[in-house]
A = this chain, B = another copy of it.
Amino acid sequence: MINNRMMHGGDYNPEQWIKYPEMIEKDFEAFKKANINTITVGMFSWSMLEPEEDKFEFDWLDRIFELAQTNNINVILGTPSGARPNWLAQKYPDVLRTNEKREKMLFGGRHNHCFTSPNYRDRVTKIDSKLAERYGNHPSLVMWHISNEFSGECHCDLCQRAFRQWLKNKYETLENINEAYWSTFWSHRYTNWNQVESPSSIGEQGVHALNLDWRRFVTEQTIDFYKTEVNAIKKFSTDIPVTTNFMADTVDLWPFQALNYSKFAKEIDVISWDSYPAWHNDWSEDFEIAMKVGFINDLYRSLKKQPFLLMESTPSFVNWHDINRPKKPGFHPLSGHQYVAHGSNSVLYFQLHQSRGSSEKFHGAVVGVNGDTDTRVFNEVSDLGHSLTNYDSIIHTMNQSDVAIMYDWENDWILKDIQGFSIKNMNYIETIHNHYSYFWENDISVDVITPDESNWDYKLVIIPMLYMMDEDILQQIEKYVSQGGKVVLTYMTGIVDKNDLIHDTDFQERIENLVGSSLLEMDILYPKQRHQLLYKGQTFEVKDYCGVIENNKSEVIANYQSSYLKNKAAIVKNQYGDGQVFYIAARTDKEMLHYFYKDFAEEIGLNDTVIKNSNKEVSIQRRSDDDYDYYFIMNFSEEEKDVYLNEKMKNLNSNVEKTGTITLSGYEVKVLQRHRLRGEL
């Protein structure tokens, strides 16, 4: 891990204030007051760095590096490809995107360049090289930040050609692609590679394998573009790690949908992400929102199994939700700690200094537009900054999990694209959240893994709704279970292969063999309809998907209670080799899953025995190295809450040692250090 400090700081845009040098001086004073030790610069500076083609102006940035060095501040240097200057689009129109309706976009916004355009790649290489040459070995530079929030796609002719080439490389012959796309259906057979077009609302959108390949291509073309930038940088700046900032989607913090980050992660030195939850909203409790934040933290940490960075977050509110509520007093330090608790080595913000104009001027910032620091926001940022200085020993620790839940980007894409079953209620991510929430609420650390992860060193692996499965993942499950692992599978498992072709009988039978049951059919319910199941003496409602199964060699552990499903198996348990497979055939609410996992957790010893916490609003996460456990105890409610320490631990902020009951006030977080026993796992 780069740097030996917990980073605190974030995006800084001094190019907006070049005419006001006293404002920049004031900013650095404010950074000192707020314990800010890291600034991210350059990301949107292209028009100031290269105001005309090949005319470069670095003086202002030299000055920022100088100020950073003087003030012992790390610099993360962004490449400016996320927002090109006006002149560039005017001179090289092919850098502008074409949308899926084949409409050529005008200049505007950002993150809108064609990833294929050779002109754009040339200009980006040029400016990146200049930056790398000049700053690539500057003592304050700690990291490169390539572009910004990669996303989107382009359907121009250049991209169509690249897509066709990508398909040729993959399928080699037209016969192969025709078979993969099952193109005999509706006479869609390709007889010429030029007949292939990217999906379009004015063309083809119903061939799921094409849609899927397009999304794969978009991910790979984006990575290819990213690598062009990395290559330009590394030529001059060989030792500095490189990142790009990942995102989450929707106010419910889904894994970012447009790119497959499990592929992208392989090319990145340090994962970083931008987190903008909608705290204090009117449809969920804060602890439920925290659970969703935790899920993404666990997913992005698990991508490389190493600590990550929180690259952006807001010190207060954002400007692009429908309702942009500020964090309540005292909430910001808590919310910042949560990232560190899950494995982040930073709390960074967008933005350090508020813009005076344009679209993001009302996004929360550490320092107000006019340099104001006598604000509640500034004070809470400073408090958190102060705490972070006490955590440098945590930097080289990691979270350790006995449980893994699988999320798969490609499976998510294809489920959202499905034609059949209940399109309206697919809810893949919501279902995963429901499984995950048991462990989060009960302080059990979880890795969120993807099918790219093959090292399953877990007591339990939960794989909900893995509709799309290939031979590799099936073998992986078979091997893991037969060697003693426990797996939870659900309805909608293993139906199609990687081209969305329905599996043949052999594959289907292997899944039925894993489950110990025949998977006969599925009742699909309308939104207002419910069936019931009975599990360990309690009745729960089921909805949406109700698999009809016939247990052959499995043990039935829950039965349906209603309609023609009455008395049929709803959940079965199957011994497979040395391990067990649990198959949940019907969709239940969260409550049933919690009831199910509770016994499970006790049975296989997942619960932490050092701290007793019976509050679902209090979350505990642990990072460890060989010598110490670091417990983050976080109270996401406004009420006072107690937890009980079975061992003596030291509070890293107060340096006080305690055992027994400790009390957290509303929104309080405590970070406790515990000596590990010799040989403790």
Residues of A within 8 A of B (CB): 13, 15-16, 18, 44-48, 51-52, 80, 83-87, 90, 99, 101-110, 180-192, 194-195, 197, 200, 202-209, 280-283, 317, 319-320, 322-326, 328-329, 354-363, 369-370, 372, 375-377, 418-425, 499-502, 504-505, 508, 520-529, 563-564
- Contact call A105/B203, Cβ cutoff below 8 A: yes
Q: A87-B191, A357-B182 are in contact. Are A103 and B101 (CB under 8 A)?
A: yes
Report the bound CA distance from A180 to B356 in whole Å: 10
Report the bound CA distance from A128 to B464 in whole Å: 49
Q: A84-B187, A107-B203, A187-B44 are in contact. Are A356 and B197 (CB under 8 A)?
A: no
- Contact call B45/A187, Cβ cutoff below 8 A: yes
Can you sample 15 A-B contacts with CB below 8 Å? Answer: A15-B184, A44-B186, A46-B187, A101-B103, A104-B202, A106-B202, A108-B197, A109-B205, A188-B358, A207-B358, A322-B422, A322-B423, A324-B423, A359-B419, A372-B505
Say how far A472's CB is from chain B's closest CB, in angstroms. 20
Selected contact of A323 from candidates B84, B181, B356, B424, CB within 8 Å: B424
Report the bound CA distance from A180 to B13 in whole Å: 17
Say how far A498's CB is from chain B's closest CB, in angstroms. 12
Chain B contacts for A108, CB-based, 8 A: 197, 200, 203-206
State how many copies of this chain the complex holds: 3
Report the bound CA distance from A47 to B187 in whole Å: 5
Nearest residue (CB) in B for A364 is B420
- Contact call B325/A191, Cβ cutoff below 8 A: no
4 A-B pairs besides A47-B183, A361-B420 with CB distance below 8 A are A44-B187, A84-B187, A107-B204, A356-B502
- Contact call B358/A324, Cβ cutoff below 8 A: no
Chain B contacts for A181, CB-based, 8 A: 357-358
- Contact call B325/A525, Cβ cutoff below 8 A: yes
Report the bound CA distance from A104 to B191 in whole Å: 22
- Contact call B523/A83, Cβ cutoff below 8 A: no
- Contact call B52/A325, Cβ cutoff below 8 A: no
- Contact call B187/A80, Cβ cutoff below 8 A: yes
Q: A83-B186, A202-B106, A317-B524 are in contact. Are A323 and B191 (CB under 8 A)?
A: no
Selected contact of A319 from candidates B83, B104, B419, CB within 8 Å: B419
Q: A16-B182, A323-B524, A323-B526 are in contact. Are A187 and B83 (CB under 8 A)?
A: yes
Selected contact of A358 from candidates B46, B106, B183, CB within 8 Å: B183
Q: A87-B191, A90-B194, A502-B356 are in contact. Are A328 and B45 (CB under 8 A)?
A: no
Report the bound CA distance from A188 to B377 in whole Å: 29
Q: A107-B204, A190-B86, A357-B502 are in contact. Are A185 and B16 (CB under 8 A)?
A: yes
Say how far A90's CB is from chain B's closest CB, in angstroms. 6
Chain B contacts for A85, CB-based, 8 A: 187, 189, 191
Chain B contacts for A329, CB-based, 8 A: 564
Q: A357-B499, A564-B329 are in contact. Are A48 and B184 (CB under 8 A)?
A: yes
Nearest residue (CB) in B for A194 is B90
Q: A47-B188, A48-B184 are in contact. Are A376 and B526 (CB under 8 A)?
A: no
Report the bound CA distance from A669 to B638 in whole Å: 58
